[in-house]
Amino acid sequence: MVITRIATPEDAAAVAGVHVRSWQAAYRGLFSDEYLDGLRAEDRMARYTLGETGTGDLATIVAVDEGAVCGFATTGLAQDADVPGAGEVYALYVDPGAWGRGVGRLLMAEARIDIGRRRGCSEAVLWVLVGNRRAQRFYRADGWLPDGGRRVETIWGVWADLARWRSRVEGT
Task: Check residue 51 and give its pLDDT.
Answer: 75
pLDDT in tens, the chain (172 residues): 999 999 999 999 999 999 999 999 999 999 999 999 999 999 888 787 787 665 558 999 999 999 999 999 999 999 999 999 999 999 999 999 999 999 999 999 999 999 999 899 999 999 999 999 999 999 999 999 999 999 999 988 889 999 999 999 986 5
What pLDDT shows up at residue 155?
Answer: 87
Burial of 45 (0-12, 13-18, 19+ CB in 10 A): middle
In a domain, 106, yes or no: yes
What's the domain range around 31? 2-122
Examine residue 87 and state whether it is found in any structural domain, yes or no: yes
Q: How many domains does the chain have?
A: 1
Instruction: Look at residue 151 and tell me if it is in a domain.
Output: no
| Residue 134 located in a structural domain | no
Angstrom distance (rounded) from CA 58 to CA 49: 8
Q: Is residue 97 in a domain? A: yes
Identify the CATH number of the domain in which residue 100 sits.
3.40.630.30
**pTM of the predicted model over 0.85:** yes
